[in-house]
Amino acid sequence: MKKTLRVAAYAVCVENEEVLLAHFVGRRSRHWTLPGGGVEHGEHPLDTVVREVFEETGYEVRVDALLGVDSLREEVPGRVGAVDFHALRLVYAATVIGGEMRFEENGTTDMAAWVPLAEVADLPRGPLVNTALELARVRPPTGRLTDTYPA
């Protein structure tokens, strides 16, 4: 089985009890997620998150802290059979410092929105949203929500 690793960086921007989300439009699903995306070869993840937030939302951000790392592994369909896909997602706390809301064109997202935190649970969303909001709430010293390790 082919193995694929994707490293990405995402921002948790919370202001006035609202979180900034981007609407992902993939081949297999459409859902709300955090603004962010894949780290380019040679790029630092902190630079990635600043670039990706701007591309997907039009906002300039200041990165305030690394909240944690989310690791997701799943088997996904590929062109020639299943792929063992491993997503390593760095989650940063960030503050909007400039820019204006606009939507990405011809990208992996088609809109962005400030969503009241109380309404997030009602949205179709990727699991990263819940994980990132919990990382922001708990701020675990290890950057991991659980201290259990797979056998």
Q: What percentage of the chain reaches a pLDDT higher than 90? A: 83
CATH architecture of 2-138: Alpha-Beta Complex (3.90)
Q: Domain coordinates of the chain in residue numbers?
A: 2-138
End-to-end C-alpha distance for the chain, whole angstroms: 21
pLDDT class of 27 with cuts at 50, 70, 90: confident
Residue type at position 64: D
Q: Catalogue the long-range contacts made by 38-41 (C-beta closer than 8 Å, 24 or more residues apart).
A: 38/6, 38/7, 38/8, 39/7, 39/8, 39/9
pLDDT class of 28 with cuts at 50, 70, 90: confident
> What is the mean pLDDT of the segment spanning 125-150?
87
Residue 150 pLDDT greater than 60, yes or no: no
**Amino acid 151: pLDDT:** 41
**Residue scoring higher pLDDT (62 or 26):** 62
Residue 19 pLDDT greater than 80, yes or no: yes
DSSP annotation of 122:
G
pLDDT class of 15 with cuts at 50, 70, 90: very high
pLDDT class of 149 with cuts at 50, 70, 90: very low
pLDDT-wise least confident of 9-13, 104-108, 132-136: 104-108
pLDDT class of 148 with cuts at 50, 70, 90: low
